[in-house]
Amino acid sequence: MEHGLTEKTNTRLDELWTRQAQAQSGGGQSRIDQQHAKGKMTARERIAALLDPDTFQELQPFTLEHPTDADVIPGEGVVTGFGQIQGRTVCVYAQDFTVYGGSVSLAHARKITQLQGLALRNGVPIIGLLDSGGARIQEGVTSLHGYGEIFSNNVITSGVVPQIAVMMGPCAGGASYSPALTDFIIMVDKTSTMYITGPDVIKSVTGENVDHESLGGAHVHATTSGVAHFMAEDETRALSLVRRLLSYLPANNVENPPGLPVDAAVPPADPARLNTLIPDDPNAPYDMRAVLDGVVDRGSFFEVHAGWARNVIVGFARLVGQAVGIVAQQPLEKAGVIDIDASDKIARFVRFCDAFNLPLITFVDSPGFLPGVAQEYGGIIRHGAKIIYAYVSATVPKISVVTRKAYGGAYIVMSSKSIGADLHLAWPSAEIAVMGPEAAVNVLNRREIAADADPEARRAALVQAYRETHATPYYAAERGILDNVIEPAQTRATLIAALRMLREQLRSKPPKKHGIMPV
Ligand code: HXC
């Protein structure tokens, strides 16, 4: 008898260990080898790489869809449980492609829905590592029912705890909708795909020829569709992105984001550089990232949606250790214009920050909304409205800084005082007006210019006069629409002081079930 145990105890432990070993071997060594040959880790290897060492506590490893069948594999193709990331608890599930291609049976789905319930009730983030052939075909409607239950829980959980989906394999059909209902999607390049209808269906319906990768690979979703928030070169990098992302987020909506010790925060190298950053030529571009570098804690900016709608930048950063959400136009891309995709990108990020208590800091430099038939037909009115809806609804501290252009609609929607900014600031280079000088003069002084002996000289003089009176921050500052005009080099200090003062706003709002978000 081992360790002096009774024979009965020994037998019980033997059975446990045998069952554990069986569950842990998933679909068997040859399928594990195939998984590795594709450059993919197994479900358990992924969980181990994600979590702090030896912190994983597995749940329901012995689940069976059909307990009476002899050749079934325990665990139902998904490993679920909880563990720690940087010492903070998370719930995690990983689909096991070696078991029926990670496909979703009702029992598989219910392991996930039970974990979602656990995360929700205990206020901890939930991370899904997805690698699945979708609904288990031979199970029929019960697997669809299971998917529906997962989706329902995604919606109920939304805004209560952060939800993150890491795509580490195929994700066909409706299976894309659970990730779509989470807060962040990370895709592994080359090995993950997401699409609603696959290449075969597309070929038969529309005649188009497209392969899996160019239909729904990581590159497509990180740059063209905006479905993916992050793209990682490989699985290890994808999992470390999850760890970094969580470092900015609270565990749930009633906690504040975790702060770093104040003395751990390194200030920007050369904030005085901001004083000379804006070019003399109002149409010359500059890199908004240099503004962020001159303001936030060194190395703290963590960009979200970096490859999509690049005319706007969104991401997390820290100010003396405190996490904040940043929204900023990028003059280097389409002059920082607001288009349909930029609207969606901004609105979504603002909603997330508001749900999870991240103060919002907005840097504005935009000539306005993008003109064009394609934008109007695509519903820029409907999409742009989302930005207003998101900012007005947000009750977290909201600070905006106009670095240069803030014209027309772009001025209003980008966290202006009129839509609820707590503090609205501008640099001396700010141009705040209904429209740019050239366009304004064309409308206001058309006849005067045409009648002049030297129309071009007249136009130039009028443009200059408009620029001096209207396209400055002082017209707005004199009228109480700006709270202050600040020296660029003082931006960090001003924001830090403001964040110490501003708290969650307790604005009274009219009672209603909910508004109708323009979608
Ligand atoms: C049952 C499945 C399965 C599925 C894969 N397998 N998908 N079993 N149900 N949905 C099994 C395969 O039969 C195979 O088993 C093993 O998993 C590995 O699959 P392979 O095809 O060998 O792998 P690979 O070549 O890498 O291709 C992966 C794949 C492909 C692209 C995912 O398997 C595939 O196209 N599967 C079907 C995808 C699909 O149409 N799913 C339903 C979508 S509709 P053996 O034993 O032969 O090795 C849906 C509805 C969602 O999900 C509902 C929500 C609204």
Helix (H) or strand (E) holding 351: helix 340-355
User: Distance from the CA of 80 to the center of ligand 1, in angstroms?
Assistant: 21
Provide the pLDDT for residue 263. Answer: 86
> Using one digit for the tens of pLDDT, what is the confidence trace for 377-386?
999 999 999 9
Amino acid at 151: F
User: Can you give the residue ranges of every domain in the chain?
Assistant: 2-246, 262-436+471-502
Q: Is 68 left (phi over 0), alpha (psi -120 to 50) or beta?
A: alpha
Pocket test for ligand 1, best of 73, 76, 103 (most atoms within 8 A of CB): 103
What residue owns the CA closest to ligand 1's atom 41? 134
Provide the pLDDT for residue 451. Answer: 95
**Catalytically active residues, by annotation:** 173-174, 409-410
- Give the C-alpha separation, 251 to 255, whole Å: 7
Rounded average pLDDT over 271-276: 95
Q: Which residues contact 237 (CB under 8 A, 6 or more apart)?
A: none
What residue owns the CA closest to ligand 1's atom 28? 133
Distance of CA 25 to CAs 67, 79, 93, 201, Å? 18, 12, 17, 35
What residue owns the CA closest to ligand 1's atom 25? 101
pLDDT-based confidence at residue 257 (cuts at 50, 70, 90) = very high
Rounded average pLDDT over 296-310: 98
| Res. 9: pLDDT tops 60 | yes
pLDDT-based confidence at residue 40 (cuts at 50, 70, 90) = very high
> Using one digit for the tens of pLDDT, what is the confidence trace for 340-377?
999 999 999 999 999 999 999 999 999 999 999 999 99
2-246 against 262-436+471-502: fold identical: yes
What residue owns the CA closest to ligand 1's atom 9? 136
What residue owns the CA closest to ligand 1's atom 37? 133
Task: Express as a percent the part of the chain with pLDDT over 90.
Answer: 90
Provide the pLDDT for residue 225. Answer: 97
Atom of ligand 1 nearest to the CA of 132: 32
User: Distance from the CA of 102 to the center of ligand 1, in angstroms?
Assistant: 8
Atom of ligand 1 nearest to the CA of 38: 26
Of the two residues 288 and 511, the one the predictor is more confident about is: 288
Of the two residues 9 and 425, the one the predictor is more confident about is: 425
User: Distance from the CA of 411 to the center of ligand 1, in angstroms?
Assistant: 49
Instruction: For domain 262-436+471-502, give the CATH superfamily.
Output: 2-enoyl-CoA Hydratase; Chain A, domain 1 (3.90.226.10)
| Res. 2: pLDDT tops 70 | no
Of the two residues 70 and 57, the one the predictor is more confident about is: 57
Of the two residues 107 and 175, the one the predictor is more confident about is: 107
What residue owns the CA closest to ligand 1's atom 4? 136
Q: At what angle do helices 340-355 and 380-393 cross, to 10 degrees?
A: 20
Provide the pLDDT for residue 66. Answer: 84
> Using one digit for the tens of pLDDT, what is the confidence trace for 391-432?
999 999 999 999 999 999 999 999 999 999 999 999 999 999
Q: Which residues line ligand 1 (CB under 6 A)?
A: 100-101, 103, 133-137, 144, 147, 170, 172-175
Are 190 and 167 in contact by the 8 Å Cβ rule? The answer is no
Atom of ligand 1 nearest to the CA of 136: 9
Instruction: For domain 2-246, give the CATH superfamily.
Output: 2-enoyl-CoA Hydratase; Chain A, domain 1 (3.90.226.10)
- Strand order across the 78-85 sheet: 57-59, 78-85, 88-95, 126-132, 163-171, 184-188, 230-232
User: Distance from the CA of 97 to the center of ligand 1, in angstroms?
Assistant: 9
User: Distance from the CA of 73 to the center of ligand 1, in angstroms?
Assistant: 17
User: Hey, is 312 helix, strand or coil?
Assistant: strand
> Using one digit for the tens of pLDDT, what is the confidence trace for 187-235?
999 999 999 988 999 999 999 999 999 999 999 999 999 999 999 999 9
Atom of ligand 1 nearest to the CA of 137: 9
Task: Express as a percent the part of the chain with pLDDT over 70.
Answer: 99
pLDDT-based confidence at residue 507 (cuts at 50, 70, 90) = low
User: Distance from the CA of 138 to the center of ligand 1, in angstroms?
Assistant: 11
Provide the pLDDT for residue 3. Answer: 63
